[in-house]
Amino acid sequence: MKQYILGRVVRSIISIFAVVSIACALIYGLIPHEKIFNNDPTWKKIASDPVASITYKYQKWEDLGYVDFQNAGDICKLAGDDVDYNKCVRGTTDAFELVKAEWEAKGYTVMYKDDGTAYVKQGIDFYEEQPSLCKLTETGANYDECVKTRNSDLEKAVSSYIEDGYVLNYYNTGTLYAVRENTVPEIIFGYISNLVKIDTPWTVNDASNPNLERKIYPGLDHNNIPALKCSGCESQYLLYLDGKFPFIHQNIIKLNFGISYPTYSGLGTMDVIGQGQGDPVKNEVHYDTGLTAKSAVNLHSCKYKSSSTMSSDDAKKFATNYADCDTNKKDPSMIGTSYLFGILGIIVSYGIGLPAGILMAQKKDKWQDKLGIVYINVMIATPSLAFIFFMKMLGNKIGLPDKFPSLGFGSIKSYILPVIILGLLSTAGLMIWMRRYMVDQANSDYVKFARAKGLSQKEIFNRHILKNAIIPIVNGIPASIVLCISGAVITESVFAIPGMGKMLPDAINAANNNMIITLTFIFTSLSVISLLLGDLLMTLVDPRIQLSSKGDSR
């Protein structure tokens, strides 16, 4: 049994990674990298500026792991002591600098092509490239030196980059940058190897704070509740307790799916779907400096802030460098929202579907059964969008809001329509299956024998049929519960519910690649987990099923 579960878990993890890798391969391999800028407002503003747009583009791509991008500054800084930093950053040879000064003195502007060669252009008639510029000079500069695009210092600095397959390019100011495109397998490998982040006291690397202590220690949080704290970790609290489900929280192991871009730009994808939404909620807060203020800060979430960026305001509140904190928001996160609706919907659908299916089976061919069949047929035949709008119309008549945000999370009225709709949408299927399983069982031989034993119809029903018929239903329950996190696309968008449902289509539209992969990962994992849970649950209710890797039955 244990062995079987272990085997299943290992196989599940492998299959999750397989799915994620396939998704990565499709996204990185097939979607042109330029496409991610289509929805970026910043890009629209700077696209016409040749220097800024190039830097922005490559930096974004580097953030997303698509390329390695190095500008001349970085390259020259890392080059070592035998390279003159200033000359290296300038890049041009002394000979060319002389020539350039001469031309500029004459009133010309020297520009550069992306291979780094200089040119001078004036009007329509005058155009000279670097070799002619060097030839036409009166400074006596060495021609061979002058036509070079890189001086010896820069040449030394970039040699290792050239070896590593970087492509050297130049801004139109003549400054060099080096780019190496990562291959699809490299991107996927990079993505997966960064997936799990473990926070240790050696995580923080802050040159401006060399005396940072590195330790994990038990302590009290701002509410005087015990917590496991850390100095030198990224997060101040490794373990802490609070009043929110699941009450004990950890910051030690984090899944890192990269940053969201271009929508929700800059946030981690998990934070986008996992953090609270809506207006900040201010509370009386006691900072560890003794300061008390009304603030929405979430002190449990504080992360390390480099000494160089600590403001005097921060120093007033925080005794340590852990000053980079989230804010408490009024409304639940996207996941939380979808989950809330999903669970309520499941309660409605099982609460109605199972008893209705059972009743139909008990009253087979009577009016109750016939009515149920009519209901099932109507529900199946009606497109769900039509059903949703119909229900919405009915709801409006009795004064229920037709958009969730109009009354928001605070009012019960906002939930009624979406929950009933979500619930009813899946009743038809449940009723069909429940009825079918019940009727199947009722026609089985053991029920006939139970009757011959003299048991009454009611006893047979309660002791035998019901349990047997519910077994296959039980298998599907974890899946319904776990997968409602993924959100109900149509219902959520009709009611403008801030849940997960719209995330995947939105992410695809905006080419928010990391978000797509994050969601793929989450949905795949949840499906796999819920299948496993369903099977484990089956072993509890069905004695015939024993989980074992081989034939041994006990």
Instruction: Catalog residues that contact another protein under the rule CB under 8 A.
Output: 444-446, 448-459, 463-464, 467-468, 471, 541-544
Q: Which C-beta is closer to another protein: that of 244 or that of 451?
A: 451
Q: Minimum distance between the CB of residue 355 and another protein, rounded to whole angstroms?
A: 21
Q: Where are the alpha helices (DSSP H) in 136-218?
A: 143-146, 152-163, 184-193
How many C-beta atoms lie closer than 10 Å to residue 246's C-beta? 5
Q: Which C-beta is closer to another protein: that of 5 or that of 474?
A: 474
**Length of the chain, in residues:** 554
Q: Which C-beta is closer to another protein: that of 434 or that of 484?
A: 434
Q: Minimum distance between the CB of residue 540 and another protein, rounded to whole angstroms?
A: 11
Q: Which C-beta is closer to another protein: that of 170 or that of 461?
A: 461
Q: Minimum distance between the CB of residue 467 and another protein, rounded to whole angstroms?
A: 6
How many C-beta atoms lie closer than 10 Å to residue 198's C-beta? 10
Q: Minimum distance between the CB of residue 472 and another protein, rounded to whole angstroms?
A: 12
Q: Which C-beta is closer to another protein: that of 215 or that of 453?
A: 453
Q: Minimum distance between the CB of residue 542 and another protein, rounded to whole angstroms?
A: 6
Q: Which C-beta is closer to another protein: that of 397 or that of 550?
A: 550
- The pair phi, psi for residue 363, each rounded to 5°, is -105, 40
Could you give the CA distance from residue 191 to residue 521 in angstroms, rounded to a whole number? Answer: 12
Q: What share of the chain is helix, strand, coil (3-state, %, to 5)?
A: 55, 15, 30
- The answer to whether 107 and 121 are in contact (CB under 8 A) is no
The residue type at 172: N
Q: Are strands 297-304 and 118-122 parallel, antiparallel or unpaired?
A: unpaired
Distance in Å from the first CA to the final CA of the chain: 9
Could you give the CA distance from residue 115 to residue 50 in angstroms, rounded to a whole number? Answer: 15
- The pair phi, psi for residue 134, each rounded to 5°, is -70, -30
Q: Are strands 237-241 and 248-250 parallel, antiparallel or unpaired?
A: antiparallel
Structural Rg of the chain based on CA atoms: 33
Q: Minimum distance between the CB of residue 252 and another protein, rounded to whole angstroms?
A: 43
Q: Minimum distance between the CB of residue 547 and another protein, rounded to whole angstroms?
A: 15
Q: Which C-beta is closer to another protein: that of 135 or that of 451?
A: 451
